[in-house]
Amino acid sequence: MTEQILFACVQQCCYFKLSGELRYTNATGMDDLIDRLVSAKIQCRQLVVDLNQASFMDSTYIGLLASLARYCQQQALPKPVLFCTVPAVNELLFSLCLDQAFEIVQQPTDHAVELSSVQAAPYSDQQKGRMILQAHEALIALNEKNKTEFQPVVELLKQQLGE
C-alpha cells in the first residue's frame, strides 16, 4: 500500500488519517501540514490522528507525530487522540513513549469526516534534511530514553546540514 495522508479541519478539530508505509521519503506533505498548523494558518483546538491503516512508520514520521503533540502542549490544547489497531505500529509508539504525549486508543475510529488528500510538498535536499532533523529533535524532547537513542542521529544530521 502506498503512503497516503488525508486531512480535514472541522469545527477547529483537525483530523489526520495516515495510511501505508510512512517514511521520511514521503513525509514532506505531513511536514508542510504541521508547519501550516504551527504558523496558525489552520485554526485547531483539538487533534485526532488515525493510524489504523498504517503498515509501517520510521523515526522521522514518529518525530512528526511528536511535533503534533508538542504543538498541543505549547498551545495548552488537550492531548491529541491517536487511534491505532496495528500491533506493530502500536508497539513502536509505546516503545518510543508516544503514549505520554498522546491519548492512544487501540480501536477503529468512527469519525465520519470528509478528508482531503495531502500531496507531497516539493522540498530541496536541504529542506528534507532540516525536516528530518526537526522531527528527531521533537522525538528526543519526549523523554531521556529517546534522547539517548536518537541524540547521535541528531548530531550527525546537524553536522551534515552544517548547523
**Segment 113-161, tens digit of pLDDT:** 899 999 888 999 999 999 999 999 999 998 899 999 999 999 999 999 9
Using pLDDT thresholds of 50, 70 and 90, give the confidence band for residue 2.
low
What is this structure's pTM? 0.92
The C-alpha cell that represents 38 in the structure block: 504551527
Using pLDDT thresholds of 50, 70 and 90, give the confidence band for residue 73.
very high
Question: Does pLDDT of 111 surpass 90?
Answer: no
Q: Give strand pairing partners of 4.
A: 19
Q: What is the pLDDT of residues 4-45, one digit of tens each?
A: 899 999 999 999 999 999 999 999 999 999 999 988 888 899
| Three-state DSSP state, 126 | helix
- Phi, psi of 80, deg, nearest 5: -65, 150
What mean pLDDT value characterizes the chain? Answer: 92
Q: For the chain, what percentages of helix, strand and coil (3-state, to nearest 5) are there?
A: 45, 25, 30
Question: Does pLDDT of 82 surpass 90?
Answer: yes
Structural domains for the chain = 4-121 (3.30.750.24)
